[in-house]
Amino acid sequence: MFDKEIYKKRRSVLKEKVGTGLILFIGNEEVGMNYAANSYHFRQDSTFLYYTGIDLPGLAFIIDIDEDKEILFGNELTIDDIVWTGPLDPLTAWADKAGITITKAFKEIDALLKAAKAAGKEIHFLPPYRGRHVLRLQEWLGYVPSEIETQISEKLIKSIVSMRSYKKPEEIAEMEKAVDISTEMHELFFTSLQPGITEKFVEGIVHGHALSTGNNLAYPIILTINGETLHILPRDIEMGKERLAICDAGAETSMHYAGDLTRTAPVSGKFSSIQKDIYNIVLHAQLACIEACKPGVLFRDIHALAGETLLSGLKDIGLIKGDVQEAVSKDVHTLFFQCGLGHMIGLDVHDMENLGEKYIGYTDNIKKSTAFGWKSLRLAKALEPGFTLTVEPGIYFIPVLIDLWKSENKLSQFINYQELEKFKDFGGVRVEDNVLITQGGCRILGNKIAPKTIDEIEAYIYRVNTIHKK
C-alpha cells in the first residue's frame, strides 16, 4: 500500500468533486471456479484499490459526504477461518493503514443503505461488472437488475475519471516497475523461441517470470504464430521455423499497476526478407506515433497517422496503390489494422474500462465512430500530461477478411489483391510500448526498452542463445 495520506487525500478530493450524498464502493469477492471453495485468483476492484489500497476480498466502503464519515464494512476472521488461513491483521489494522477510522460488520451495511435511501439521500455507485454486485445492489437498494444501469452515478464516474486519468509520481514509479518486469518477460520470450517448441511452453516461461518475481499477469498472455487473430490464446501446437511469433504480455505489480508490451520475433531467430519488410513498416509507424504523442493532440489523429504510415509502407512493397491520404480517408488501412492504436493503462490494463469507454477515451464532442476499425479505438480524445497509454500499431493479414473484401472488390482502386494473396499465411506483427504524456511530449515507461529493431532482436536472440545454451 501507499502511505495512508495518499488515500486520505484522494478521498477528500473525491468528496469535494461529488459534493453530496453517499458514495458506495463494493470490493470484489472470491469467485468459485468449479465449486465455491476452489476459487479463481482473487483480484480486488481497481477503484476500491485506488481509494483504500486494501487488497482483501469481501469488503465494502462507504463515504458519507454530508456526515463526513468513512466506514469500512467487512468481517473479522473467526478461529474457524484462522485454522485454514493462518492469522491475518484485523480489519481495524487494514482500515488504519488506509486512514479509515470506522469499521463495521459487513451485514450492517444493509440497514445503513436502506435508511439512507429512505431518507432520500443520493447514493452514488459505479456500474457493476460482476453478477454478485448486481445482486448486492438489488438487496441493499431495491433496484431490479435491469434498472441498475439507470441508477449509476455519472457524477461519481466523471469524478473518478478526472482523478485516475492523471498518474501521480508514486503511481508512475509502480508503472515503471510493471513495464520493467514485462520487459524481462519479453526477453525470455525472445530467448525461449525455437522451432518445434509449443506456444504454451513459451507462455509458461513468460508467465512464470511474472509469478516468480512476486507479481502476476495484467491480462491473459497472447503468444502465437497466428498473430493476425487479435486475442488468440496460446495453444499446444509447435511453432514452425518459418513463422513470426507475437508475444503480447504484461505484468501486474503486487500493487496492481499494469504493463502491456508486445514484441514480434522470428521463431528461427532470423527474419526473412519479407518479414523484415512488414516488421519495419509496423516499427516505423510505432516510432512515428510515439513521436506524435504530446499534450493537446487528439489520439484519434495519431491513430489516423498510424493508418497513413502503415499504408505508405505497404505501398512501397506493392500491396497498396494510389494516393495514401485518400486511401486512409476511405479506411483502406482497416483491412490490415482492424483495432485501435492504444488505450489508457494504469490499475487496469484497459484503464477504467468498467466505468465506460465514453468517459475514458471520448468526450461530449468527440464521439465514438461505429465504422469498422474505428469502433475498436478505445482512446480518441486529446492527450494531457499525466496520461499513461499504450501505442501499439500492427499489421494483421486475416485470410477471411481479405477474401471477403476481395469477393466484394472492395476499394480495389487502392488494394493490389493479386499480390495480397501471397500474404494470406503471413500472420501478424505488432509492436507495443507504454508511454507517459509529459509537459512537452511523452516518454516511454520503463528503465530499459525490450529489443525492438530487427538488429536488436536478432542480436539479442543470438547472443543469449550462444552464451547460455552452448
**Contact positions vs Mn ion (CB under 5 A):** 260, 390
Distance CA 185, CA 122 (A): 46
Q: How far is the CB of 260 from Mn ion (least distance, A)?
A: 4
For Mn ion, give the closer residue by CB, 199 or 432. Answer: 432
Minimum distance from CB of 334 to Mn ion (Å)?
Answer: 18
- All 3 cell numbers of residue 194? 525455437
User: Which residue number, 70 or 260, has a Cβ lying nearer to Mn ion?
Assistant: 260
Alpha-carbon span 227 to 363, nearest angstrom? 32
Q: How far is the CB of 139 from Mn ion (least distance, A)?
A: 36
Beta carbon nearer to Mn ion, 153 or 390: 390
**Other CB atoms within 10 Å distance of the CB of residue 92:** 13
- Note whether 259 and 178 are within 8 A (CB): yes
Nearer to Mn ion, 128 or 428 (CB): 428
CB of 38 to Mn ion, least distance (A): 31
For Mn ion, the closer of residues 63 and 345 by Cβ is 345
- Which amino acid, one-letter code, is at 363? T
Name which of 124 and 186 has its Cβ closer to Mn ion: 186
Per-residue cell: 218: 495484467
Least separation in angstroms between residue 190's CB and Mn ion is: 19
Q: 184-221 burial by CB neighbour count: b if 16+ within 10 A, else e? A: bbbbbbbbbbbeeeebebbbeebbebbeebebbbbeeb
The CA distance from 53 to 293, in Å, is: 31
C-alpha distances (whole Å) from 421 to each of 103, 115, 275, 425, 428 are 65, 67, 15, 9, 15
**What residues are paired with 25 via a beta bridge?**
61
Pairing of β 123-124 and β 22-26 = parallel
The residue among 14 and 431 lying less far from Mn ion, judged by its C-beta, is: 431
Q: Kindly compute the dihedral angle of the four CA atoms of residues 14, 17, 21, 52, in this order, to the nearest 10 degrees.
A: -10
Beta carbon of residue 340, minimum distance to Mn ion (angstroms, whole number): 9
Q: Least separation, in Å, of the C-beta of 433 and Mn ion? A: 10
